[in-house]
């Protein structure tokens, strides 16, 4: 019972705070900045994210990266976009859709998670149903997926640089995720042991 209560409190805190800062809804601002408000030649992406995009687009993690070798851990997004046009693929569009998919999914379960967890917390026995576990697991999975995408997108070299609004926005999300690392781990461990 004690572990269940701790899970519910930590999970609710993470979910409720995320709602207050409109974390997932604000992804729209990031999406709008890619290729629009921010010039592509001012945006660098990490090799890790490039590898992810290559796997997603070509089914080959190294296909894009092999054309941008070198000691740097980042690549100009404009160069990658120009290169990808040879394959009739719009990298900027792929990235926008990537973030939009996450936002859309999170938005769909946003209210449901909050409503359900408040109902459970208000009950005397704090009983969690099987369908609740699935709902909460999906929420945490998507939370981690978004965190990984954002962290992998920004090369570490840019973390402490106020280069432009684009990086400042992404870095604020990184800090937000870091502040809830303990909550995430407690919630994840609880669900894994159910």
Residue 131 pLDDT grade (very low, low, confident, very high; cuts 50, 70, 90): very high
Span 35-85, pLDDT tens digits: 665 678 878 888 888 898 889 888 999 888 888 887 888 888 888 888 888
Span between the terminal Cα atoms of the chain, in Å: 13
Q: Which two tokens stand for residue 148?
A: 């990984």
Query: Which phi and psi (to 5°) does residue 193 adopt?
Result: -95, 5
pTM of the complete model: 0.76
Are the CB atoms for 17 and 180 separated by under 8 Å?
yes
In sequence order, what are the residues at sequence separation of 6 or more whose Cβ sits closer than 8 angstroms to the Cβ of residue 88? none
Model confidence pLDDT, tens digit, residues 167-191: 777 787 788 888 889 999 999 998 9
Domain that holds residue 85: 2-192
Cα distances from 131 to residues 6, 128, 140, 184, in angstroms, run: 19, 8, 14, 19
> CB 70: neighbour CB atoms within 10 A?
7
Q: How far apart are CA 10 and CA 100, in angstroms?
A: 27
By residue count, the chain amounts to 194
What total number of domains does the chain contain?
Answer: 1
Between 36 and 30, the higher pLDDT residue: 30
């Amino acid at each position: 019972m004690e572990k269940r209560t701790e899970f519910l409190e930590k999970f609710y805190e993470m979910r409720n705070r995320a709602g207050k800062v409109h974390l997932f809804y604000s992804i729209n601002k990031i999406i709008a900045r890619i290729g629009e408000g921010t010039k592509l030649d001012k945006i660098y992406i990490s090799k890790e994210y490039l590898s992810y995009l290559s796997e997603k687009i070509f089914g080959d993690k190294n296909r894009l990266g092999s054309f941008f070798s070198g000691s740097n851990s980042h690549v100009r997004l404009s160069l990658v976009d120009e290169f990808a046009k040879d394959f009739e693929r719009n990298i900027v569009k792929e990235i926008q859709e990537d973030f939009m998919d996450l936002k859309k999914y999170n938005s769909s379960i946003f209210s449901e998670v909050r409503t359900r967890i408040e109902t459970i917390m208000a009950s005397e026995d704090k009983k969690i149903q099987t369908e609740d576990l699935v709902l909460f697991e999906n929420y945490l999975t998507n939370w981690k997926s978004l965190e990984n995408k954002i962290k992998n997108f920004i090369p570490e070299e840019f973390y402490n640089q106020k280069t432009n609004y684009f990086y400042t926005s992404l870095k604020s999300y990184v800090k937000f995720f870091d502040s809830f690392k303990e909550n995430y781990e407690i919630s994840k461990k609880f669900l894994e042991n159910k």
